[in-house]
Amino acid sequence: MRLVFPNPGLDNRILSHEDLDRMEKEEGDRPKWDNKTQYMLTCVGFCIGIGNVWRFPYLCQTHGGGAFLIPYLILLVLEGMPLLLLEFAIGQRLRKGSVGVWRAINPYLTGVGIASMLVSLLVGLYYNTLIAWILWYLFNSFQDPLPWTQCPLNDNGTGFVPECQRSSTVDYYFYRVTLNSSTSIADSGGIHWPIVLCLLAAWTVMCVCYIRGIGTSGKAVYVTAILPYIVLAIFLIRGLTLKGSLSGIKFLFTPDVNELINPKTWLDAGAQVFYAFSLAWGGLISFSSYNPVHNNCVQDAVILTAITGFTSIYAATVTYTIIGFRATEKYDTCISDNILTLLNAFDLPEDNITTSNYETALNHLNSSYPDTVLGLDIKTCDMQTLLSEGVEGTGLAFIVFTEAITKMPGSPFWSVLFFVMLLCLGISTLFGNIEGVVVPLKDLNLLPKKWPQEAVTGVTCAVAFIICLLFAQHSGLYWVTLFDNFAGSVPLLTIGLFEMIAVVYIYGIDRFNEDLEYMVGHKPGIFWQVTWRFISPLIVLVILVFYMVTQTQEELTYLVWDPNSEQFPSLALVPYPSWINAVVFLLAGVPSLAVPVYALYALDCICLHSRFVVSFVCLGLCMFRQKM
Amino acid sequence: MLWKVLLLLGLSSAWAQKLCSPGASDGYKVRLSINSALGDQAYVWNENEMFLFRATLAFAMRTYSDGQEYDVANVVVCDETPRVSFWFVVTSPLDASLLVDKRRVEEAVRKSRSRINSAFLLTDDTLEFIGIPPTLEAPVAPDTPPWLIAFGVVMGGVGAGIVVLLVSSVVQKIRKKRDGEEETGGKTENEAASDAIYNMSFSDDEPVTQM
């Protein structure tokens, strides 16, 4: 006997197989993909995002290089692929968006769809801000020399602005010129209008690409999904011809098998797989619902998994050729500077000390004149440190890569190419995102039914733009990091877990198997059965529990750009203000709790409901305050 | 007589050497990095090059200082090192024992820096006057920021795209409505015509049955 919760009335809420066959022949008004390629490219574009370029290479390198691929690929197959097929199949079978699907399975489960919509909305907001920053850099790449190669002069023209002098031109350009960062998240400092214009551009581009739903976005993906691969190939060829690229690749892939014993490696691999597949956002369910009923979704899931795995490794390789090049350049400059300092101090002829005899010369001088050498302040040039600095997140794209590009001949061309690639990666992910917001809004009847798709898209983009002005403040960078850490982590894992439980134990795994047999022609094999029922939910549960435990134990801190701090030019680690706990609860708690809260609301526990919700909120806040 | 002249020359050069010393209050240290600047094309630093330096500096003092007739002899050099660095002081053309003030020398060097650099095929970084920072070139700032142009192009394109898509949707809807109306209008006409035929045949039957 299978463990299935009683689910009366399920047959009344969903279309039967005969209905589906009939609908296949009729010309319905539900949107459809023009061809299979469009669907696959949309899914590929959704899954392959900016995280593949700036999150996976960092994880790979810090968790033992080549050895990280083992947990990553294992979890890709055991955790990612089953959930992927689950979302594909349920969307294709029930022919509805995320809210519609869960509502059809059981009205008490509508909360899962609502949670997906909230998460898609919150993530979409900060993701499009990243797109706005990318657009800013793209617009500024059409000039030679690039603006982040030069420091502005100070008032009397004898030197550079001290903030730029003490850090670097690229740091200054990102933190001061682009964002005009304040020193704390509480210090909003007003709106920075260049970012407002870029946000406007980002949301308008999204609006025009999605204005007719998948009708327009399906055409746009031909460019946004394919162009990144071409650009990565160009960068790979360019990168391999640069000096020092191979040291970067070696650094990336050098395996450290000891990392496999570290549980954090497996946790990070699992979390990365989960986010890489854009699971639990609701977009994949929507996209699959536009497929013909007999589309082979099993094959699609396997192909998409393979493409994601391959692209992650491919992007990581390209990224680390460029990082290796930059580190080598900085190392060479460091050594040359030290050589010059020594030559100047001891008035030796220029070719006395070269890069080859630097070490011996330094030791000789140190032993003969230790005091003088000490007073010279010789910098230690360490290749490993240079290879590991700033290689994650926004730091990678806007600081490390921009600096590397300035050292390549023909910098504006490479800069334009790089930011166009990031733009395409981001936009194609946002298509799935906006699908996961707009379709539930229509299903929940929050927008009038008679509005055409264009009006729905336009209103959604306009409202989202206004909310995004939060990120256009001087403290915008800190808000983006906050959203990144909390809106996109715990809620997604929670929703994923609920999805699996809902399909396997509430919809019924037997019924699901029959559906797949009807759609694809054969029942899913033993691998799928085992992973759907036990392995994948277990993995997600373990990751979720560990995440929550580590998050609640750590003190909430963040990195700020503060020219007056002692660690400048490194970012300073400061604690969050106390009111941030309420914001974190809103970002992470509300979507996660949407499932149980909605279920209780639907059970007509009205008098209990409001008191329950209020007391729950208070409990949550008390927990966080106590933890402080 | 000859020995008096020789003594005077010796004394004056010794005096001049006394004026110039490392760390002199009115002198500056100069450092050249010829190898790093020119690589294979580097020239050897020798007495002739030093003569050129003294002449260039005299030129700078003549043109940008008080206009007096400075000569090569007025630029005194000392403490040469293999690094190719040395100290120099400038003596007044009127009185060889008097040093020209530091600030006047600095001003003259600053104003003629590019001439001095180009005489030696070097740059501000490779021909250093320690204590005289080079006036930095301001970064190139065009009148219209280029990013606004790119932004304008993108927004224009996107705006045009939105307008085109909206207009085409509206046109499609109007066309669909018009096609729908034509169909229903045609149907009613056909029905009226068949009714008329039917009535005619009915009225034809009447006289036959009456008989």
Residues A10, A108: contact at Cβ < 8 Å? no
Question: Which of A131, A134, A139, A343 is the mutation pick for testing B, counting most B CBs within 10 A?
Answer: A139
Q: What is the pLDDT of residue A52?
A: 84
Rounded CA gap, A61 and A67, in Å?
9
The chain B residue lying nearest A139, using CA atoms, is: B147
Touching check for B142 and chain A: CB below 8 Å? yes
CB contact under 8 A, B165 and A216: yes
Rounded CA gap, A103 and A13, in Å?
9
* pLDDT above 70: percentage of residues in chain A: 95
Three-state SS string over A137-150 comes to: HHHCCCCCCCHHHC
The pLDDT tens digits for B44-78 are: 888 899 999 999 999 988 888 777 888 888 888 88
Q: Residue A339 carries which side chain, given as an amino acid letter?
A: I
The alpha carbon of residue A374 is apart from the nearest alpha carbon of chain B, in Å, by: 21
The chain B residue lying nearest A454, using CA atoms, is: B166
Closest Cβ opposite residue A454 in set B35, B81, B169: B169
The alpha carbon of residue B66 is apart from the nearest alpha carbon of chain A, in Å, by: 24
Touching check for B85 and chain A: CB below 8 Å? yes
The chain B residue lying nearest A201, using CA atoms, is: B155
Query: What mean pLDDT comes out for the span A86-92?
Result: 93
DSSP class of A221:
H
Residues A433, A233: contact at Cβ < 8 Å? no
Residues A281, A488: contact at Cβ < 8 Å? no
Rounded CA gap, A562 and A582, in Å?
25
More confident residue, A180 or B17: A180
Residues A340, A354: contact at Cβ < 8 Å? no
The chain B residue lying nearest A210, using CA atoms, is: B162
Task: Give the other-Cβ count within 10 Å of A563's Cβ.
Answer: 16
CB contact under 8 A, A340 and B34: no
Query: What mean pLDDT comes out for the span A74-103?
Result: 92
Touching check for B169 and chain A: CB below 8 Å? yes
* Residue with the two structure tokens 């996660």: A592
- In 3D space, the residue among A427, A441, A391, A435 whose CA is nearest the CA of residue A127 turns out to be A427
Residues A446, A177: contact at Cβ < 8 Å? no
Structure-block tokens of residue A388: 């590991």
Rounded CA gap, A190 and A188, in Å?
6
Residues A141, A624: contact at Cβ < 8 Å? no
Structure-block tokens of residue B80: 């040469």
Three-state SS string over A78-98 comes to: HHHHHHHHHHHHHHHHHCCCH
Rounded CA gap, A312 and A277, in Å?
11
The pLDDT tens digits for A309-327 are: 999 999 999 999 998 999 9
- Which residues in chain A have their CB less than 8 angstroms from residue B139's CB? 147, 150-153
CB contact under 8 A, B147 and A139: yes
**What is the pLDDT confidence band of residue A469, given thresholds at 50, 70 and 90?**
very high
Q: What is the pLDDT of residue A554?
A: 80
Note the residue count of chain A. Answer: 628
**What is the pLDDT confidence band of residue A206, given thresholds at 50, 70 and 90?**
very high
- Which residues in chain B have their CB less than 8 angstroms from residue A454's CB? 165-166, 169
Residues B74, B91: contact at Cβ < 8 Å? yes
Q: Which helix (DSSP H) or strand (DSSP E) does residue A552 occupy?
A: helix A536-553
CB contact under 8 A, B169 and A452: yes
- Which residues in chain B have their CB less than 8 angstroms from residue A152's CB? 139
**What is the pLDDT confidence band of residue B17, given thresholds at 50, 70 and 90?**
low
Q: Are strands A572-575 and B127-130 parallel, antiparallel or unpaired?
A: unpaired
Closest Cβ opposite residue A157 in set B135, B146, B159: B135
The pLDDT tens digits for B114-137 are: 899 998 888 888 888 888 877 777
CB contact under 8 A, A157 and B150: no
CB contact under 8 A, B83 and A145: no
- Across the beta sheet with B85-90, what order do the strands follow? B75-81, B85-90, B28-32, B127-130
CB contact under 8 A, B151 and A208: no
Structure-block tokens of residue A463: 């409202």
CA dist list (Å): B91 to A436, B27, B53, B109: 82, 10, 15, 15
Q: Quick one: angle between helices A36-47 and A411-443, nearest 10?
A: 110
- Which residues in chain A have their CB less than 8 angstroms from residue B33's CB? 340, 350
Give A289-328 as a DSSP string: HTS-TT--HHHHHHHHHHHHHHHHHHHHHHHHHHHHHHHH
List, as residue ranges, the binding site of A for Na(+): 45, 52, 425
Q: Looking at this predicted complex, what is its ipTM?
A: 0.78
CB contact burial B159-171 (16+ within 10 A = b; e otherwise): eebbeebbeebee
Q: Residue A619 carries which side chain, given as an amino acid letter?
A: L
pTM: 0.86
**What is the pLDDT confidence band of residue B205, given thresholds at 50, 70 and 90?**
very low
The chain B residue lying nearest A353, using CA atoms, is: B83
Structure-block tokens of residue A63: 């968790």
Touching check for B198 and chain A: CB below 8 Å? no
Q: What is the pLDDT of residue A321?
A: 92
* Cα radius of gyration rounded to whole Å, chain B: 48
The alpha carbon of residue B191 is apart from the nearest alpha carbon of chain A, in Å, by: 28
Touching check for B149 and chain A: CB below 8 Å? yes
Question: Which of A164, A223, A343 is the mutation pick for testing B, counting most B CBs within 10 A?
Answer: A343
Closest Cβ opposite residue A350 in set B35, B135, B161: B35
Query: What mean pLDDT comes out for the span A482-492?
Result: 86
Closest Cβ opposite residue B83 in set A152, A157, A343: A343
- In 3D space, the residue among A101, A104, A420 whose CA is nearest the CA of residue A283 turns out to be A101
More confident residue, A99 or A375: A99
Q: Which helix (DSSP H) or strand (DSSP E) does residue A343 occupy?
A: helix A297-346
The alpha carbon of residue B115 is apart from the nearest alpha carbon of chain A, in Å, by: 19
Q: Which helix (DSSP H) or strand (DSSP E) does residue B172 occupy?
A: helix B146-210
Residues A90, A287: contact at Cβ < 8 Å? no
Task: Give the other-Cβ count within 10 Å of B65's Cβ.
Answer: 18
**For residue B186, pLDDT beyond 70:** no
